[in-house]
Amino acid sequence: MTTIMIRTDKSEDSSPQFRAFADGIQGVGRTPGEALDAINAQLGSGNGTLLVVQQFEPDPLFTAAHRAGLMNRWRLARDSGACISVDERSELEALVDAEVEAAGRRADRRRA
């Protein structure tokens, strides 16, 4: 299986673009999908793919307040070998769902 990382980059004209990395190669596109297609063309057929897209910076669709407190409690529990409560796990899963929804809205904005 090939692991592909996609990150936001700036093009020469300062418009957003995406760069995908895997196994020492890279592909660039105007969208994450285009960057993924560009790198898959170089990888060839027959590869299983795990795609990792990570947004490190807060934005208007998913603010730092959405994740800060709960993620800190989860990391504290993880680092001490404990588990978060069922309620906190549900809240964390809702947080993940909210980020996925925000990612879709970001993609819709870029297509417009």
* The model scores a pTM over 0.85: no
For residues 84 and 72, the answer to whether their CB atoms sit within 8 Å is no
Q: How many domains is the chain partitioned into structurally?
A: 2
> Domain end: 12, 34, 53, which one?
53
In a domain, residue 90? The reply is yes
Element (H, E) at 3: strand 2-10
Assess whether pLDDT exceeds 60 at residue 101: yes
> Tens of pLDDT along 21-41?
888 889 999 888 898 889 888
Same domain, 46 and 72: no
Integer-rounded Cα Rg, in Å, for the chain is 17
In a domain, residue 58? The reply is no
Select the more confidently predicted residue: 65 or 24: 24
Structural domain for 79, as ranges = 64-111
Give the pLDDT of residue 80. 92
Same domain, 6 and 49: yes
